[in-house]
Structures are given as structure tokens and as C-alpha cells.
Amino acid sequence: MQRQLNAPLKHGVAAADPQPPERPDWTVDQGWEAYSAQDHGVWRTLFERQRRLLRGRACDPFVQALDDLPIGPDEIPDFRRLSDILMARTGWQVVAVPGLVPDEVFYEHLANRRFPAGNFIRKPHELDYLEEPDVFHDVFGHVPLLMHPVIADYTQAYGFGGLRAKQLGVLDKLARVYWYTVEFGLVQQADGLRIFGAGIASSALEAVFALDDPSPNRLRFDLERVMRTRYRIDDLQETYFVISDLDELLELARIDFAPIYARVAEQPELEPGSVLPEDRVITRGTGTYHAARHPAR
Ligand SMILES: [Fe+2]
């Protein structure tokens, strides 16, 4: 199996051999008291590394929210304390799940402003390798921006949208929108490009690669374009899409995607590294990184 550099962020895909849940919504108790000193130590290592890397790279609301939440280096956060603050700010809470959950379960949680977070943490020898999103990816990566009212609404809308897209058979299209925004989105701040996607914010390699490396493309976000664009689940991204402001996502939370799915269905799918003449290019990548990693392509 190919080594995965990023947390595979496919929250909605059920694990190969899922254990039947005790609760129908697949939640479990976080079991905060059961974390070992080693678990908290892994958290500290990851937290301190990302905090250093994200200085000047994460968008301002992410940095601010980290200060406002009980998320620090000393211990894995307690979901109950996170939820108290999130609930007061944007009506969200964090619930614990043991790993990947089925699509409908995931979307149902988001539609009800519950963010399902893995309650386990990676091992010390696997700091950059994950098979399923763990507590560091989910809490450090996702929870800060759930404090932002636009991301809070957008993520909930994605939950409703997921339930609908599943019925329409277009889940792959919607998943790309989530992937290229909530997971791997960049935002244009007045002082430069910044990270807002959790997949980037929680990855040491990708936090640098997404902003500083000459290899990937950085293109202006366009909804239909993104719906057509495949992505890499097992490696750093070849293309990042840039929104002008987090408020841009507000419109996406409000519009009806059904007619857009219909238009997109008539257009060809796009490879992760492709650049079209009509793209608004911020950085045309050299493609060097992926050319070396995937020489057959
Ligand atoms: Fe994620």
C-alpha cells in the first residue's frame, strides 16, 4: 500500500471492516481520561510543529480561534470543553467517533452542527502517516474554523448537501467541493495567500508545500471547475484553489447545487494537475514534485 503523506480525509467512506456501532449515530465517548502520557506527547509534538509552521501561513481567523479555544500543547483537548465554547459561539459541538463512519452518518452529524472527530491519536513513529483522520487532524485542523460563522454555516450546508447529493448520485462532485475548500482550501488575505483547509493546516509537509513550493498550481476557486476536478487522496495536492475571502463560502452555503450538477455532468472530468485556458491562474506550478513521484503519468 502506498504510503500516505496526508491524513486521508475521506470522512464519509466507511472503513473496510467497520465494527457495528453501539449507538446508531456511531458516536462513542471520547474517553479523555484513558489517553496515555504517550498520546499526549504525540499531541504536543504535532501541536508545536504545526504552530511554528502555521505562523504567517494560516489565515487570521484560524490563528485567532486557536487562541480562543482550549487547544494547546499540553494535552489532547477534551471535546466537552471544546463544545462548550463552540456551542456558545456558533452552535457547533464536537462528538467522538472511533474512525471513519458511513457517508449518511457523517452528513447527518454535520447537518446538525456536530463535528465527528476521531478520538484516537497516531503513534509516535507515524507522525506523518494516517489511515483515518485522528484527533489531531480533526481537532487541530477543523475545529478552529468552526468558530467562524461562515465556515460554521458552510459546513452545516455541506451536511445537508451531502444527504441530497447521495440521493442524486452526485456525491463525488460534492466531495470535491469539500476537498478543495474545507480540507485543502487557500484564501487570499491582504498580506498574502493563507491556509484555511484542515488537511493543509494539520500537515507539516503540506503546510509548506501548499504555499511555498513551486510545484503545485494555485488557481482561483470556481465552483463548477472544482466539481470537475479529481484530487489526490494519497499524496500532496497538485492544485490548490484560492477563495478571495472566507465570506465567499457563504454564497456556496445558500445556492442550489442541483442545476450545477446537471451542467457539470455534461463536461469532461479534469485531472488534478490540469490547467485550463479559462482558469484564473495565481501560480502556474512546475509540476516537478508529482512528475518525480508518479513518472508513469
Ligand atoms: Fe478532515
Residue extents of the structural domains in the chain = 32-293
Average pLDDT in the 159-164 region?
A: 95
Binding residues for Fe cation: 137, 142, 183
Distance 277 CA to ligand 1 centre (A): 31
Q: Percent of the chain at pLDDT above 70?
A: 93
Distance 117 CA to ligand 1 centre (A): 9
Q: Given this model, what pLDDT does residue 289 score? A: 96
Query: pLDDT-based confidence at 296, cuts 50/70/90?
Result: low
Q: Given this model, what pLDDT does residue 21 score? A: 79
Output the CATH code of domain 32-293: 1.10.800.10
Distance 44 CA to ligand 1 centre (A): 20
Average pLDDT in the 87-114 region?
A: 96
pLDDT at residue 5 is higher than 60: no
Q: What is the pTM of this model?
A: 0.92
For the chain, the average pLDDT equals: 92
Distance 141 CA to ligand 1 centre (A): 7
Q: Given this model, what pLDDT does residue 14 score? A: 42
Residues 172-181 pLDDT 10s: 999 999 999 9
Query: pLDDT-based confidence at 294, cuts 50/70/90?
Result: confident
Distance 138 CA to ligand 1 centre (A): 6
Distance 183 CA to ligand 1 centre (A): 6
CA 216 – CA 288 distance, rounded (Å): 8
Query: pLDDT-based confidence at 20, cuts 50/70/90?
Result: low
